[in-house]
Amino acid sequence: MTTSRYPRDLLGYGRTPPAPAWPNPGSSGDAKICVQFIVNYEEGGENSVLHGDAASEAFLSEIVGAQPWPGMRHMNMESIYEYGSRAGFWRLWRMFTERAMPVTVYGVATALARNPDVVAAMQEADWEIASHGLKWVEYKDYSREDERRDMQDAIALHSAITGERPLGWYTGRSSQHTLELAAEEGGFLYASDAYADDLPYWQETESGPLLVVPYTLDTNDMRFATPQGFNSGDQFFAYLKDAFDVLYAEGEAGQAKMLNIGLHCRLVGRPGRAAALARFLDYVQSKPDVWVARRIDIARHWRERFPHAAPWRPSRLSKTAFVDVFGSVFEHSPFIAERTLTRGLGAANDTAEGLAAAMTQTFRLASKDERLGILKAHPDLAGKLALAGDLTEQSKSEQAGAGLDRLSEAELNRFTDLNTRYVARFGFPFIIAVKGLTKDDILAAFEARVDNDQATEFATACRQVERIARLRIAQIFEDAT
């Protein structure tokens, strides 16, 4: 089996997310929630044989379950999209501008190019126009080179249309290459092709760190056009309100988050749905300490407050370096470190707790003879190796911390007697994680355990080995960071 690194980050911020300190214009203190509205402008950039595509569009329309029509125009589909540019956009534009609420547009470059009046209105309202790609098409089967070319063409066309390059990127129908390409391009302050968190985060890529401002597919009007989605404005409003209320309460408790609301001109721009959105906008504005922001403003705030700092990532160490650092965590048994790395580590193992869990699993998966060998590799407490100064540095430090290097003659004799009896009975030294224990605590445990049966004491000793390993790993992380 070859060494592999699990590429996904299942840990994120874990139990202690950062306090974002969202700006709170006009009020003292931090905002309790950041709310962000995204208008996806895709109309005129969707799949169509008119655009050189192989088939008609089949995604996110009133025609639930639509299928592509190869080589043919789908007039109903086209007119549904046209509603978004002709009517839906203007309804949303009026709704947000009348309330002076900022918006980020995910603008498909070819769609923007086909409607200059819409672009002018976006700029008049000071909406951020982020790039939503060259065309509103599926990229999962594109080669990296072809996707890169379309990204470059999208940036060039977007810049020509708006007068400035986009600083945010969201493909939407993305591939495994999308975030890597956004980082490689080098000019984006953030990318959003991820749904992994309620807060922005830095993602390590081949080209360096990339700020991800994650998007959402649940508080999103796309669910009006999917099975098991919203079938009325009331459902949409209730869902948005519940999401807002939960995150607002978390902000009141000191853990503020970000709420994304995804909108499409052809979907929520319809009157029966727009009414629900209007109610939600008014609800948001009725609450104090709410920061309604564009995504570029969120990105700039995050970059200033939480600039990228490369964390210490043991999962990315070479095999030699990893074994050098962690090979002695299980006493004189570097094979535990080697096997742990070979089994595969990921971001969730780049904490003391996460790595200890992975190495403990490896220890528990070892054969009984191998675990017995690890037990036997441990030194006697206050035994001959200690007296001779031949303990490992970790064992020496641990025993010294419990005062076992400063025993009276009577205490030394007592430990020697117990060591002799214990090894004769079980075939391995007495093992206990001594951190936080006194000599008296250790002697009491020693005297209690020496009368255990073989199976009980083997299990007890193994648990102590695991605890010692956890403590050693925690100390390594503390020293490294």
Active-site residue set: 378
- Determine which helix (DSSP H) or strand (DSSP E) holds 36, and give its type and residue range: strand 33-41
- Alpha helices for 163-201 (secondary structure H): 178-185
CB-CB contact of 26 with 100 (8 Å): no
Specify the residue for token string 């570029």: 296
How wide is the angle at C-alpha 142 spanned by C-alphas 139 and 144, nearest 5°? 110
Please name the amino acid found at residue 75: M
Phi/psi zone of residue 232: left (φ > 0), alpha (ψ -120 to 50 degrees), beta? beta
Q: Report whether 144 contacts 152 (CB < 8 A).
A: no
Cα-based distances in Å from 430 to 190, 265, 416, 451: 55, 71, 11, 12
CA atoms of 315 and 105, how far apart (whole Å):
38
Give me the residue label for tokens 């205490």.
Answer: 411
In DSSP notation, 81-124 reads: HHHIIIIIHHHHHHHHHHTT---EEEE-HHHHHT-HHHHHHHHH
Give the gyration radius of the chain's Cα atoms.
Answer: 30
CA distance 112 to 127: 14
Terminal Cα distance for the chain, rounded: 31
Residue 203 belongs to what H/E stretch?
A: strand 201-205
CA distance 143 to 155: 19
User: Tokens 């009141």 label which residue?
Assistant: 252
Residue 260 identity (one-letter amino acid): N
Distances in whole angstroms, Cα of residue 196 to Cα of each of 213, 217, 244, 251, 383: 9, 11, 18, 19, 52
Other C-beta atoms within 10 Å of 378: how many? 23
Q: Around 472, how many Cα atoms within 13 Å sit in the side-chain half-sphere?
A: 23
Task: Give the pair of three-digit tokens for residue 263.
Answer: 């909108």
- DSSP 8-state code for residue 403: T
